[in-house]
C-alpha cells in the first residue's frame, strides 16, 4: 500500500474465525492487511478512511472507499478551461471504489477528446469525475471537489508547455 492515509496502532481484536478477511465498517473502511500470529489474538489493522466529495451546490455527493494514486497537476488547455483555473489537480481512483451517494441525475458528461468523458454537475458546473472508454476500471478524480484530505499530493506537473502565463 503506497499511499496509506492513516495507520492505526495495532489493535487487539480476536477474530471469531479464520474466514474473516476484511471488516468493512459503514463509516470507516477497516482492512485487515495481515494477521499477526501471536496466538492468533492480535490483528494489525490499517484504517483507510472513507473519502467524501461533493459539488459546489452539494447536489452531487460521492464516497471513495479506496486509495488514490498518481496525483498530478495538469496544465493542458482542456483542464484549464474545464476548471477555469491555472491547472487541474487530479488523481486516479478505481471505479469500483467510487460511489455516488446523491445527484446521479445531475451528473453530465462532456467528451472533451475521443473516449475521455469529463463528468460535472449540470447545476453548478463542478468537475466531479472523468471516465475513459479505454480504461473503464479507473476514473480521473479532480482533487478540488473532495471534502476530505485526499492523503496524496500532486507529485508532478504535466503539459507544462501549455501553462497559463
Residues within the interface to Zn ion (CB under 5 A): 55, 57, 59, 74, 76, 79, 121, 123-124
Q: How far is the CB of 43 from Zn ion (least distance, A)?
A: 41
Q: 73 and 158 in contact (C-beta within 8 Å)?
A: yes
Q: How far is the CB of 121 from Zn ion (least distance, A)?
A: 3
Q: How far is the CB of 28 from Zn ion (least distance, A)?
A: 26
Please identify which residue in the block is written with the cell numbers 496509506: 4
Pick the closer one to Zn ion by CB: 85 or 123.
Answer: 123
Pick the closer one to Zn ion by CB: 3 or 57.
Answer: 57
> 42-49 and 28-36: which strand pairing?
antiparallel
Pick the closer one to Zn ion by CB: 51 or 76.
Answer: 76
Q: Which three cell numbers stand for residue 66?
A: 479506496
Element (H, E) at 33: strand 28-36
In angstroms, rounded to a whole number, what is the distance separating the alpha carbons of residues 79 and 76?
5
Q: What is the CA radius of gyration of the chain?
A: 19
Pick the closer one to Zn ion by CB: 95 or 123.
Answer: 123
* Eight-class DSSP state of 67: -
Q: How far is the CB of 12 from Zn ion (least distance, A)?
A: 44
Amino acid at each position: 500500500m503506497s499511499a496509506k492515509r492513516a495507520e492505526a496502532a495495532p489493535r487487539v481484536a480476536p477474530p471469531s474465525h479464520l474466514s474473516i478477511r476484511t471488516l468493512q465498517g459503514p463509516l470507516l473502511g477497516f482492512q485487515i492487511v495481515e494477521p499477526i500470529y501471536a496466538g492468533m489474538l492480535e490483528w494489525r489493522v490499517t484504517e483507510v478512511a472513507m473519502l467524501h466529495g461533493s459539488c459546489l451546490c452539494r447536489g452531487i455527493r460521492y464516497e471513495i472507499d479506496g486509495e488514490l494514486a498518481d496525483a498530478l497537476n495538469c496544465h493542458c488547455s482542456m483542464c484549464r478551461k474545464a476548471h477555469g483555473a491555472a491547472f487541474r489537480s487530479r488523481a486516479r481512483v478505481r471505479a469500483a471504489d467510487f460511489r455516488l451517494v446523491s445527484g446521479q441525475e445531475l451528473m453530465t458528461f462532456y467528451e472533451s477528446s475521443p473516449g475521455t468523458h469529463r463528468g460535472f454537475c449540470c447545476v453548478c458546473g463542478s468537475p466531479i469525475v472523468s471516465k475513459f472508454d479505454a480504461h473503464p476500471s479507473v476514473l480521473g478524480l479532480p482533487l478540488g471537489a473532495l471534502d476530505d484530505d485526499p492523503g496524496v499530493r500532486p507529485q508532478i506537473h504535466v503539459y507544462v508547455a501549455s501553462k497559463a502565463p
